[in-house]
Structure 1
């Protein structure tokens, strides 16, 4: 009986210290989630958006250049996550490239695994009333090989926070 009381006291002390650590971890988790949600969600009423542009007709063998432009029509600095946009090297599939008949051009680029939330360095600022543009060659990540009419749709909005209303099309023609 004398040995049970010290053991019981030690068990209570250990459990109470575990409980304290858990509540500290929970408090820390809530704080991290609050920071994540603040950085991750786009503020309501902000209208930063992107648009796609390219030539209507491209000869097989030429580069298939896609221009991606981010616009900030607001009166304050806005930002977007560069992940899943052309503002970083091809690290993920954020475009659907399909022939008009529905056949998809295979994505052949890298597929990055990332830690969430995105670090501050993964965000790009856009000044009020300004825009940023970048041009990429789709052939560096997508297998566009045969002649036909292709449709490109941006699918990275969930990660970048950028909406693109319209798709673009191009005819891939024999030289």
Structure 2
């Protein structure tokens, strides 16, 4: 009786190893290897002006071939997704005010950004537009990883 259950369990395990879903997932995530080679840097190029906290987000390709990353969960698709961690001096996290989105995978080609060899792409966004920030000093970091494939970059501090 026990042998019979072991044979059934082995059959289930072997069948799940050949699942088409697993193959589709691998095929749809090939870009992650490329994105992991890209370098992320972001800074507050100017002090805040009024209620704005501008951030310059740069993705650099140090390799000799074009690489791509998924724009989702990056400032290249602003106001959608919580991809920054912003904490005050006491370690309290600023409240995210933007939209969250569900995505269909694998992503369409139009959702990718290609960074030419030895070049970079840049975008600017306003942190105050998507996070509730009160006067004080904050440490800002990019979470990285996730669906975009970009790795976490540097961190910086900003005072309001």
State if a TM-score over 0.5 links the two structures.
yes
Between 1:115-124 and 1:68-77, the stretch displaced more is 115-124
Asked which structure has the greater CA Rg, the reply is 1
- Residue 31 of structure 1 deviates from its aligned partner by 4.6
Seen in structure 2, the aligned counterparts of structure 1 residues 35 and 148 have a Cα distance that, compared at 3 Å, is: same
2-structure distance, mates of 1:102, 1:30: 39
SS at match of 2:42: strand
SS at match of 1:158: coil
2-structure distance, mates of 1:110, 1:65: 19
- Residue 90 of structure 1 deviates from its aligned partner by 1.2
1-structure distance, mates of 2:30, 2:51: 43
| Paired position in structure 2 for 1:35 | 27
Does 1:130 pair with 2:119? yes
2-structure distance, mates of 1:57, 1:27: 53
> 2:34–2:68: 8 Å Cα contact kept in structure 1?
no
Higher helix residue share: 1
| Paired position in structure 1 for 2:41 | 51
> 1:74–1:128: 8 Å Cα contact kept in structure 2?
yes
Among candidates 100, 103, 109, match of residue 114 of structure 1:
103
Which structure 2 segments of 5+ residues have no match? Answer: 1-14
| Paired position in structure 2 for 1:77 | 66
SS at match of 1:71: strand
**Could you tell me the TM-score, scaled by structure 2's length?**
0.79
Give the root-mean-square deviation of aligned CA atoms. Answer: 2.3
- How do residues 89-100 of structure 1 correspond to structure 2 at under 5 angstroms? 89-100=78-89
Question: How many residues align structurally?
Answer: 144
SS at match of 1:58: coil
Which structure 1 segments of 5+ residues have no match? Answer: 1-22
